[in-house]
Amino acid sequence: MIDFNLILLYLPNLLSGAWITLQIAAIGCTIGIFFGTILGVIHAGKNKLLRWCVTVYVTAFRGTPMLIQIAAAVLLLPQLGIYISDFWAATLAIGFNSSAYISQIIRSGIDFVGTGQIEAAKVLGMSSIQVTRYIVLPQAIRVVLPAIGNELITLIKESSLASTVGVMELSKQANYIKNRTFDALTIYFAVAVFYLILTTLLSFGVHLLEKKMRYHAEN
């Protein structure tokens, strides 16, 4: 049975873990969306060399487990002279992994916009950056918002992999409490509820954004 007193007893640990998870998710999402959008725009562009570079990046990040990427970030970065905490190494790995997926979502959205409006904007004198910023991306993002929402939910859940390099996020806290109490069912139940709250809040936020961006006629 679920021991709610145990949950209350270890609530500070769980909240501390949830706060770390929230930070990983927020920073990872920001990196994923920002970098993924840039990569997506490049991938939908005309420069063959840059497109090839993005393809290599996406293939590498999508084709290897995130667990390995996190471990690589923690182990390789110091050897390259980059000394950052395990939290930041894991968060960067999670963010850049997510950007690979988001880039492909954005690219499909850009393809949806089509060439007609792009040509119209060009004839009006807009630069390529203006066309992308004001015409293409607003429409592409609206189309792919549900898919981006799904990707971000996945990112929140996969942030638990940061626990493998010692980051005291929610899953790591759960392991710590479980090892002390031997009540795995109660602790994993509590952790599941925390994750559910985080992903539900994110889903709600994406839903609100979708509603705001739903500009098409509702005659």
Positions that interact with another protein (CB under 8 A): 116-117, 119-126, 130, 134-135, 138-139, 142, 215-217, 219
Eight-class DSSP state of 124 = T
Count CA within 13 A, CB hemisphere, residue 11.
6
Q: What is the DSSP letter of 212?
A: H
Chain Cα centroid distance, residue 134:
24
CB of 44 to another protein, least distance (A): 17
User: Nearer Cβ to another protein, position 9 or 120?
Assistant: 120
Give min distance, CB of 112 to another protein, in A: 11
The minimum distance between CB 208 and another protein, in angstroms, equals 18
Distance, CA of 60 to CA of 63 (rounded, Å) = 5
Alpha-helix residue ranges (DSSP H) falling in 80-124: 86-113, 115-123
Provide, rounded to whole angstroms, the least separation between the CB of residue 37 and another protein: 16
Q: How far is the CB of 130 from another protein (least distance, A)?
A: 5
CB atoms near residue 16 (< 10 Å): 15
Q: 126 or 206: whose CB is closer to another protein?
A: 126
Q: Closer CB to another protein, residue 130 or residue 150?
A: 130
DSSP assignment of 169-191: SHHHHHHHHHHHH--HHHHHHHH
CB-based contact 105:147 (threshold 8 Å): yes
Nearer to another protein, 71 or 209 (CB): 209
CB of 131 to another protein, least distance (A): 10
- Residue 80 vs 123, nearer CB to another protein: 123
Measured from the CB atom, the residue of 1 and 123 that comes closer to another protein is 123
End-to-end CA distance of the chain: 53
